[in-house]
Amino acid sequence: MLLNYAPVMLDTLISSKTRLKLLFKFFLNSNTRGYLRGLESEFGESSNAIRQELNKLEGAGMLSSELQGNKKIFRANAAHPLYSAIQNILHKHIGLDRVIENVIERLGEVEKVYLAGKFAKGQDSQIIDLILIGNIDREYLVRLIGKAEKLIDRKIRYLIFSEAEFDDDTYQSLQPEPILLWTGENKIET
């Protein structure tokens, strides 16, 4: 099955582990910001390796930056022609396309789905954290998630809220800020 080769294939295509971490950091969540020393602490890598990759990505127009005091703050350039394609590749690497296809679209009354946890911070993980909003059959969800976990070789954790329960206060209390992944009205591109 091709899906089992996706993580290896991405590592093969992008041989720099630091670059891969930066792509996850900035392209999974377009609101993510970072600066050299913060990334050094987060990644546990040398500032020189991170600086080189940041400079390459900025030089290619994939990252933009601004000075805030003495810090150069980086973020993804959502206007770059490859921005959506890179996000799509990362979503496929994680298995989000399979989760949507095999779980969310089959549940029926799902209003919104958010990506939370480490992925919302832009970090790769073996656990996908989802927040589901709607009237959801929990027993059916458990069966579908079990099947999806086998397909993507990752664990899926979830929280379920009704529309009434998931208000602005609930959303704002979640850290890191979750990423809207899917809505019942409009499928978010993965």
CA 175 to chain CA mean position, Å: 14
- HSE-CB at 180 with a 13 A cutoff on CA atoms is 12
In a domain, 132, yes or no: yes
Co-location of 99 and 179 in the same domain: yes
CA-based nearest residue to 170, from 136, 119, 133, 122: 133
> Can you give the CATH number for the domain in which 147 is found?
3.30.460.10
Domain boundary, last residue among 76, 103, 120: 76
Range of the domain at 141: 95-183
Q: Judge contact between 89 and 6, C-beta under 8 A.
A: no
Statement to judge: residues 14 and 69 lie in one domain: yes
Are residues 158 and 101 part of one domain?
yes
User: Does 124 share its domain with 164?
Assistant: yes
Query: If DSSP codes are grouped into helix, strand and coil, which group holds residue 73?
Result: strand
Q: Tens digits of per-residue pLDDT, 4-23?
A: 444 546 777 788 889 999 99
pLDDT of 189 > 80? The answer is no
* 30: CATH: 1.10.10.10
Residue 140 clears pLDDT 80, i.e. is over it? yes
Range of lowest pLDDT (122-131, 137-146, 174-183):
174-183
Domain presence at residue 83: no
* Whether residues 103 and 179 fall in one domain: yes
**107 lies in the same domain as 170:** yes
| Of 120, 80, 78, 92, nearest in space to 13 by CA | 92
Q: What's the token pair of residue 23?
A: 């792509």
* DSSP per-residue codes, 152-182: HTSEEEEEEE-TTT--HHHHHHSSSPPEEEE
Quote the number of domains for the chain: 2
DSSP 81-112: TTHHHHHHHHHHHHTHHHHHHHTGGGSSEEEE
Per-residue pLDDT, 177: 84
Contacts of 106 (CB under 8 A, 6+ apart): 140, 144
Structural domain contains residue 100: yes
Q: What is the pLDDT of residues 70-119, one digit of tens each?
A: 999 999 999 999 999 999 898 888 888 888 877 877 787 889 999 999 99
Residue 150 included in any domain: yes
Please indicate, yes or no, whether residues 116 and 46 belong to a single structural domain of this protein: no
pLDDT tens by residue, 33-84 = 999 999 999 888 999 999 999 999 999 999 999 999 999 999 999 999 999 9
Percentages (nearest 5) of helix, strand, coil residues in the chain: 50, 25, 30
Residue 48 lies in a domain: yes
Helix (H, G, I), strand (E, B), or coil: what is residue 38? Answer: helix
Q: Which pLDDT value is given to residue 3? A: 43
